[in-house]
Amino acid sequence: DVKVTQSSRYLVKRTGEKVFLECVQDMDHENMFWYRQDPGLGLRLIYFSYDVKMKEKGDIPEGYSVSREKKERFSLILESASTNQTSMYLCASSLRGHFMYEQYFGPGTRLTVT
Amino acid sequence: KNQVEQSPQSLIILEGKNCTLQCNYTVSPFSNLRWYKQDTGRGPVSLTIMTFSENTKSNGRYTATLDADTKQSSLHITASQLSDSASYICVVSAHGSGNTGKLIFGQGTTLQVKP
């Protein structure tokens, strides 16, 4: 079974803090993704990576950066957290050619910025 | 513009009853269509994935259909159980140039099954 794990289920941070969200997958997938999910807006792609040290902007990259130093690990960084980044963050992974293959999601991190 | 629209937005049914969720899309060029189930506070879990040539696909009590001509899909749940209470998300994959592509997510249908 594919397993995608995220470092925290719940996180509370203050405005202006630097926040790191970690994601690890154990299936040797090439592609990894970060989404945020908000009521009424569905899932929106922040960034994705198709290989180590490679990254591509998604639909809403502003205010975020990512890091992929190892194939199994993909980190989302909020350089200076703001209240409008309060959201559910979901990590996913898939084989290369993600639009053809299944995406496997982690359990999510609910981030609250106060 | 690539879009995926789901209906209804929410639905309440009694345990044991059947229900059908709808997904209409305007995505081109089409690659595949997926249905995910998302329990509250959890990540989405795949139910089915269908390509252009597939009309129907089942996963236990879940049956998805695809009409590529009318660009419609439905997810039918048979003999509902309390554990079916969740959000159901329709996702359509668009083929890009080369080996690229994009996923377009619907906003989901929230299903509540009552005893």
Min distance B99 CA to chain A CA atoms (Å)? 6
Q: Is the CB of A102 less than 8 angstroms away from the CB of B49? A: yes
pLDDT (tens digit per residue) in A10-20:
999 999 999 99
Neighbour count for residue A47 (Cβ, 10 Å) = 23
Residues of A whose CB is below 8 A from B3 = none
- The pairing of strands B10-14 and B109-114 is parallel
A10 Cβ under 8 Å from any chain B Cβ: no
Residues of A whose CB is below 8 A from B2 = none
Query: What contacts B60, CB < 8 A, 6 or more positions away?
Result: none
Question: Looking at residue B97, what is its pLDDT?
Answer: 59
pLDDT at A100 over 60: yes
How sure is the predictor about A1, in pLDDT bands with cuts at 50, 70 and 90?
A: low
Q: A64 near A34, Cβ under 8 Å?
A: yes
Q: B13 near B114, Cβ under 8 Å?
A: yes
Direct distance between the N- and C-terminal alpha carbons of chain B, in angstroms, rounded to an integer: 41
Question: Looking at residue B99, what is its pLDDT?
Answer: 54
pLDDT at A114 over 80: yes
B41 Cβ under 8 Å from any chain A Cβ: yes
Question: Looking at residue A99, what is its pLDDT?
Answer: 67
- Residues lower than pLDDT 50 in chain B: none
Ramachandran area for residue A27 (φ above 0: left; ψ -120 to 50: alpha; else beta): alpha
Q: Which of B30, B87, B105 to mutate to probe the A interface, most A CBs <10 Å?
A: B105
pLDDT at A97 over 70: no
pLDDT at A101 over 80: no
Min distance A43 CA to chain B CA atoms (Å)? 6
Question: Looking at residue A68, what is its pLDDT?
Answer: 97
Q: Is the CB of B46 less than 8 angstroms away from the CB of A104? A: yes
Give the closest of A42, A99, A106 to B94, CB-based: A99
pLDDT at A98 over 70: no
pLDDT at A43 over 60: yes
pLDDT at A31 over 70: yes
Residues of A whose CB is below 8 A from B31 = 99-100
Q: Nearest residue on chain B to A31, judged by CA atoms?
A: B100
Query: What SS3 state is found at A10?
Result: strand
B53 Cβ under 8 Å from any chain A Cβ: no
pLDDT (tens digit per residue) in A50-78:
889 999 999 999 999 999 999 999 999 99
Q: Is the CB of B46 less than 8 angstroms away from the CB of A103? A: yes
Question: Looking at residue A2, what is its pLDDT?
Answer: 64
Residues of B whose CB is below 8 A from A45 = 103
Residues of B whose CB is below 8 A from A102 = 34, 46, 49
